[in-house]
Amino acid sequence: MSIATSSVASSNPTPPSAAEEELVENTRADAQSVGIVQTKFVDLFCPPNELVVTNGARLGPVRVAFETYGELSPAGDNAIFVCHALTGDAHLAGKRRADDRKAGWWDELVGPGKGLDTNRYFIICANALGGCQGTTGPGSVDPATGKPFGLRFPFLTVGDIVQVHAQLVRHLGVKKLLAVVGGSLGGMQVLEWASRFPDEINAAVCLASAARLSAQGIAFNCVGRRAIVTDPNFHSGDYYDHPSGPNLGLSLARMVAHITYLSENSIEKKFGRRLQHSEQLNYELMHETEFQVESYLHYQGSRFVERFDANSYLYFTRAMDYFNLADAYGSIEKALGRTNARFLITSYTTDWLFPTIQGVELMNALVAARRHVSFVELTSPYGHDSFLLEVDPLAELLTPFLEQTLLASRRKSQS
């Protein structure tokens, strides 16, 4: 897109109109967009080389949905894998169609000149194993029965998810990642990657996450799963051939979880006790959206059921519950001491789902293991969702961290 400018001078220039200002802003945005992207698919772990998951079950083939942005360097040393959080997917940035109203979930961070600069780096993001956006999951057809897996899908751990991600990276011809990046459940994948495949990454960026989920986090996940499995339309997980699935239960699970993603201050500032439709209380017991915060949560729940599968929610939350880096390797220090990768750990002041003390625990373990680690607690009012909502402070950290990692990697390869 180009903008025409006049060369005629004026002593009283006319201020730009709102439409002209919007055009300039859109032009800047377009220049930093990855544009139209296409989701790709590949089948991995084809028989007889099936994926063996943690509990010993075998799964294959595994179809993986993924997107890539930027170009892989001739040396293959500029690849970054982004691990999505609980309800994310492979659509990290850009739009799938020109008329899409919404771009990828981290579009503000990924693109030319952004924190994850696609002019410099080759970015990969894949829908996780067990998901519902193209990668094999409980809604996929079981080759043995010709019907969706449902709850017959193998139990998953974070390690199983990372196994599939790592195999995708190898399939794409990348021998060693410049970095693996992720927040929340994605951050758990980052930590697992560093310990399970210690020689396959140069850096690990763990955002708003921890070596294990707290008892409070497990409790909230329990309530969400209970809402789903007690929905009359759950049908023991075999709801795919029914007119309706457990939409009410999934919606309630999302509402409960969404509360944990926000901070008390952000909820109070955004909604307070403001009413939704009237200027005074109705004093009606069954009026569920009298307050604005109630309406907001109902909206979040109803939108969620349009794009997410209830069974995938069960599997992902259980994988989070079971993740414990110390148990798997003896201690956090031993787990993360397996790699020579550089680490960037962030926490957020208002995140009570993964509080700063857990980020400090990771930092201390890395220091004890004598590994390169940078830890930053970022100030944000947005709670756990801060890593998704406030990308500028994150970009300021990522830009020099990734540049230094790439420089160190190239120096090492030349020595």
Q: How high is the pLDDT of residue 15?
A: 53
Write the pLDDT tens digit of every residue in 8-50. 233 344 455 554 444 334 434 567 899 999 999 999 999 999 9
Q: How high is the pLDDT of residue 271?
A: 86
Indicate whether this model's pTM tops 0.75: yes
Q: How high is the pLDDT of residue 277?
A: 81
Whether residue 384 lies in the annotated active site: yes
- What's the pLDDT band for 54 if we cut at 50, 70, 90? very high
What average pLDDT does range 203-208 have in this prediction?
Answer: 98
Q: How high is the pLDDT of residue 282?
A: 78
Q: How high is the pLDDT of residue 274?
A: 85
Q: How high is the pLDDT of residue 300?
A: 94
Average pLDDT, the chain: 92
Catalytic residue among 33, 384, 386, 409: 384
Write the pLDDT tens digit of every residue in 332-380. 999 999 999 999 999 999 999 999 999 999 999 999 999 999 999 999 9
- What's the pLDDT band for 276 if we cut at 50, 70, 90? confident
What average pLDDT does range 183-212 have in this prediction?
Answer: 98
pLDDT at 294 over 80: yes
- What's the pLDDT band for 280 if we cut at 50, 70, 90? confident
Whether residue 238 lies in the annotated active site: no
Catalytic residue among 33, 107, 117, 184: 184
- The answer to which of 3-7, 198-202, 257-261, 367-371 has the lowest mean pLDDT is 3-7
Question: What domains appear along the chain, each with residue ranges and CATH number?
Answer: 35-212+323-415 (3.40.50.1820), 214-322 (1.10.1740.110)
Write the pLDDT tens digit of every residue in 70-118. 999 999 999 999 999 999 999 999 999 999 999 999 999 999 999 999 9
Q: How high is the pLDDT of residue 16?
A: 53
pLDDT at 209 over 90: yes
Write the pLDDT tens digit of every residue in 106-145. 999 999 999 999 999 999 999 999 999 999 999 999 999 9
3-class secondary structure per residue, the chain: CCCCCCCCCCCCCCCCCHHHHHHHHHHHHHHCCCCECCCEEEEECCCCCCEECCCCCEECCEEEEEEEECCCCCCCCCEEEEECCCCCCCCCCCECCCCCCCCCCCCCCEECCCCEECCCCEEEEECCCCCCCCCCCCCCECCCCCCECHHHCCCCCHHHHHHHHHHHHHHCCCCCECEEEEECHHHHHHHHHHHHCCCCECEEEEECCCCECCHHHHHHHHHHHHHHHCCCCCHHHCCCCCCCCCHHHHHHHHHHHHHHHCCHHHHHHHCCCCECCCCCCCCCCCCCCCEHHHHHHHHHHHHHCCCCCHHHHHHHHHHHHHCEHHHHHCCHHHHHCCCCCEEEEEEECCCCCCCHHHHHHHHHHHHHCCCCEEEEEECCCCHHHHHHHCHHHHHHHHHHHHHHHHHHHHHHHHC
Catalytic residue among 165, 351, 380, 385: 351
Whether residue 327 lies in the annotated active site: no
